[in-house]
Amino acid sequence: MSLQLGDTAPDFTLDSTEGPIRFHDYAGGQWVVFFSHPKDFTPVCTTELGAFASRKAEFDARNARLLGLSVDSVADHQGWAKDVADVGGTALNYPLLADPALEVAKLYGMFHPKADPKVTVRSVFIIDPNRKVRLILTYPPSAGRNVDEVLRVLDSLQLTDGRKLTTPVDWQPGDDVIIAPSVSDDDAKKLYPGGWRTLKSYLRLVPAPLA
């Protein structure tokens, strides 16, 4: 199965470092950042798990839950967690799913047998409170994930959700945002009576909403 943006994130139940987890129950009404790792005791993923753990409070502040997955057993995960804490400086503080049969890896398209027939690829999914997939990233084995980028996209999605706005290249919270091209100038005047900055007829910038 290959998930696409806008699809409903499939439900599943797997064992984890925090006991059995049914995904839709775990997600509840929150955002979820769901990421996979090829296998336990791999160097890049050890640094990633530690980085997400050390910055969990930033995801909590955005009403987002973290959820990891690797193909090895819970017992292996628990041993790996000691290395994660040692390297990253923070104990593993979110569940790490065990997927030895590649059940969820295949369900979510995390398994690319041409890349490696035994392990998952390193994917990231951002899933919204309606359980819709809003971001899919797949990384090569040699490049570690960027937590700042995951947070930046999460901020963009939350800011523009339900608004006719988009965010430009390299956008950061507090930067100007773009009025969607689907909004006419007449309608934009009602939404933004203070006006906007026009770079092109289809590229109109306004200050980001405060909330």
Q: Round to whole Å and give the CA distance between 50 and 129.
A: 25
Strand segments (E) across the chain: 13-14, 21-22, 31-37, 64-70, 96-98, 122-127, 133-139, 165-166, 177-179, 197-200, 203-206
* Phi, psi dihedral angles at 156 (to 5 degrees): -65, -45
Q: Round to whole Å and give the CA distance between 148 and 98.
A: 26
Catalytically active residues, by annotation: 45
Residues 6+ apart with CB under 8 A from 169: none
| Tokens describing residue 168 | 């430009």
